[in-house]
Amino acid sequence: MENMQARDLYSFYGKSPVILGVSFDLDPGEFLAVLGRNGVGKTTLLKSIMGLTDRCEGGLAFGSQDILGLSTPQRSKLGIAYIPQGREVIPQFTVRENILMGTFARPDGKRDIPDYLFEMFPILDEFISRRGGDLSGGQQQQLAIARALAMDPKILILDEPTEGIQPNIVKQIEDAIVRLNRERGLGIILVEQNVPFARTASDRFLVLDKGRVVLSGKSEDLTDDVVEKHLTF
């Protein structure tokens, strides 16, 4: 399994830098929570990892490979899966067709849907022929995660996966993310507003403010004082 390293990463929209000198490491199978108030650059950091901003400078490596010069599809084929805010499920496609889309990023060319996806999200098996646009928000989030997992990734990047989700499904999604990390060894990078979940699920965290890392540490260092200083509104 590969690790990921960002070194002095700058990311731009047009000529304006939004990420300013960010560095972090993600060891194989590690869970990193990215925290911060609204508008501080958390989503932009995830998009930078996937090559979805206008320009990046600095260092970003996956394993021994520098990936800053790679396209988004090339990064996906290395095993980096990204689930954005809004989920981006294709509404007119069925659940099966949405999941199968994820397999096209597999480097081995396989087009099989892994059985464990339906064990983890039974509702998707039940609704396999239903159109994605007919699912609830929570069901669409489960579908988006399943689609990303169908590419057999090494790292799963999630941007606020429980935002706007009905409470009874939030726990299912949180449990699934933890299982993927601890049972299947997936590296996780998670942007999350739910600090108690980030504290219990992650190995390490970093806090962004105005595009910079202002604090980082192990999950046990995410104390109430830290939350009060950096994360309350």
Q: Looking at residue 233, what is its pLDDT?
A: 63
Residues 208-228 pLDDT 10s: 999 999 999 999 998 888 888
Q: Looking at residue 107, what is its pLDDT?
A: 84
The CA distances from residue 126 to 38, 44, 47, 95, 161, in Å, are 36, 35, 32, 10, 22
Decide: helix, strand or coil at residue 50. Answer: helix
Count of other CB atoms within 10 angstroms of residue 136: 12
Q: In order of start, what are the domains of the chain with their CATH numbers?
A: 4-230 (3.40.50.300)
Question: Contact at 8 Å (CB) between 42 and 34?
Answer: yes
Count of other CB atoms within 10 angstroms of residue 200: 12
Q: Which amino acid is at 226?
A: V
Question: Contact at 8 Å (CB) between 57 and 49?
Answer: no
Output the pTM of the full model: 0.95
Q: Looking at residue 52, what is its pLDDT?
A: 96
Low-confidence residues of the chain: pLDDT under 70: 233
DSSP conformation class of 203: S
